[in-house]
Structure 1
């Protein structure tokens, strides 16, 4: 991890910007720069940010303070993003960050699907930094911004029917029924998902939940290599959203691991249903590459989703995962391209 202070500088730079642009596209920069720093590329952070700068907007205006009395009313109201940031800044100034996370995780978990799962992914990056590096003010502030974005884009999903599916994560993802609609944004498509395989429904043991979540991240990452062409950008989230939850588990009490698995599975399966192709495609990578070489290719490409999928692929750590990362490089438009 970065010990140069560059990550903190980048986060401070980004905390002067908003969580979205054009009213619905997520600001991926905080997640991408954390991934760069985590993989020894802190020296490239500011250059990458300069390339990304035209995708950044000013933060939204404040509306009304979020308080202990009115926070439920403010959930899911993106107009209140700045109010939520102020709220979490205050909470993190008064209490240790783990206490704040443990309080808010079960409140926010049902709304994992808002913002196309980007808020929980941003939380996962922020938590990884706090768990593995020094606890600094900019890194706590990033957790405040991430939790605030999740609260402001909170979007629950209810009433999904449990469908038949395989015993393994990969078999269950293969059993997901595509919605067969190729138009509409994330929320529109999500509304058309009526059921997902009940692969995680019977899990009750926290240790099994952690193992299943690890299996899901691996399966979704591997599957991108053969199915990512369905929608190369959006299908990234079938892997990165559950990986964000997996990264957060060590900071959470064991009692929250099972519901975390269930929410992560539903999100991954729903994204697979919304964007999955009708059939897989065979693809062979152009040679053999080390993990470091694959990450360097992702950085040179520059696309934020490519960087984040590659970050997850390196967590999985096997050849198939690296193949998926290289596939994303091939299919995605380079940053600035």
Structure 2
């Protein structure tokens, strides 16, 4: 990724003047999308995209009460304290290295990965990728603090504890998940149905989750590949929300290199539980007709996503390009998922 032009840092600074949500609950995808655009060779589109996107955003919410090392537990999961959390995390990264902050807060936040439909954790994954691969300039450290604070404010544990101990592959475990009874509802009400969904916990716990860090990382990559490919066939259940079944575990995968290895296996388990929940909340009963990206390269597919403009399309295509890069042969099924998102999600331009 070319970070020498200053485009990424300028865009992040612009977006930090806006709140993490708008219209009451919709996540601000700006920092995630601009990182993906710059990384995938579309830096020249960033400021025009931000000009358009910021029209829908809102101001930073007012602060309420200072969060400290002594009282943070009482504020965990309180979205009304999001600015308090951002301020606290900014202080944390000003006092010590960001990796040290991440290592302390990752296990605290991991049980609430599903909060805000996994958007905060995804934002953390984009922020960590920037810091690991492109440098630690001030706007990037600030973005990490914003992302971590947003996750703390929206921390939401699942209403059922998932302890996967089976032998199934990610693709097989996803296929075995039953849908919730009432899919015409919001995320929180949908999650509340999981404990009463017959067979859901059994299917969710069928995944093979190795405890050795390297094996856990490989299984997490397999989960990202399976959820991305699955999108091409099942995205019509909810083309926007099912994006996160793939992008959330990929955000976790991107974060692993910055974490102690003993946290890799728990990270796989949490990522799987969140993806399994989203899959059951929105999975349709039937598959779509097959779709193939054909001879398109990852670069061409991402260029189409940038022209399309929707933030979810951009993020899913970014993940699909990751999957395609993992083998020398690419991954036509993953790229097809990106193309499918462009068909099902209305362009934002």
TM tier, smaller: over 0.9
**Residue 216 of structure 1 pairs with residue 229 of structure 2:** no
8 Å CA contact 1:165–1:172 kept in 2: the answer is no
CA deviations over 1:192-236 (Å, ceiling 9, x no partner): 112242144652211111011000000000000101111100000
TM superposition score normalised by structure 2: 0.93
Matches within 5 A, 1:66-145: 66-145=67-146
Please point out which of 313, 322, 331 is paired with 1:306.
313
C-alpha RMSD of matched pairs (Å): 1.5
DSSP-derived class of the 1:249 partner: helix
8 Å CA contact 2:163–2:269 kept in 1: the answer is no
8 Å CA contact 1:66–1:87 kept in 2: the answer is yes
Equivalent position of 2:253 in the other structure: 246
DSSP-derived class of the 1:3 partner: coil
8 Å CA contact 2:165–2:209 kept in 1: the answer is no
Equivalent position of 1:327 in the other structure: 340
DSSP-derived class of the 1:148 partner: helix
In structure 1, what is the Cα distance between the partners aligned to 2:167 and 2:308? 36
In structure 2, what is the Cα distance between the partners aligned to 1:151 and 1:233? 23
1:47–1:79 distance in 2 versus 1, CA, 3 Å:
same
Cα shift at 1:164: 9.9
Cα shift at 1:281: 1.5
Matches within 5 A, 1:29-68: 29-68=30-69
Please point out which of 244, 248, 267 is paired with 2:274.
267
- List gaps (5 residues or longer) in structure 1: none
1:222–1:4 distance in 2 versus 1, CA, 3 Å:
same
1:104–1:160 distance in 2 versus 1, CA, 3 Å:
closer
8 Å CA contact 2:162–2:273 kept in 1: the answer is no
1:247–1:162 distance in 2 versus 1, CA, 3 Å:
closer
8 Å CA contact 2:168–2:208 kept in 1: the answer is no
1:208–1:179 distance in 2 versus 1, CA, 3 Å:
same
Equivalent position of 2:17 in the other structure: 16
1:255–1:223 distance in 2 versus 1, CA, 3 Å:
same
In structure 2, what is the Cα distance between the partners aligned to 1:321 and 1:164? 27
CA deviations over 1:66-108 (Å, ceiling 9, x no partner): 1001000000111111111110111111111100110100011
Cα shift at 1:286: 6.5
**Residue 183 of structure 1 pairs with residue 190 of structure 2:** no
In structure 2, what is the Cα distance between the partners aligned to 1:51 and 1:274? 31
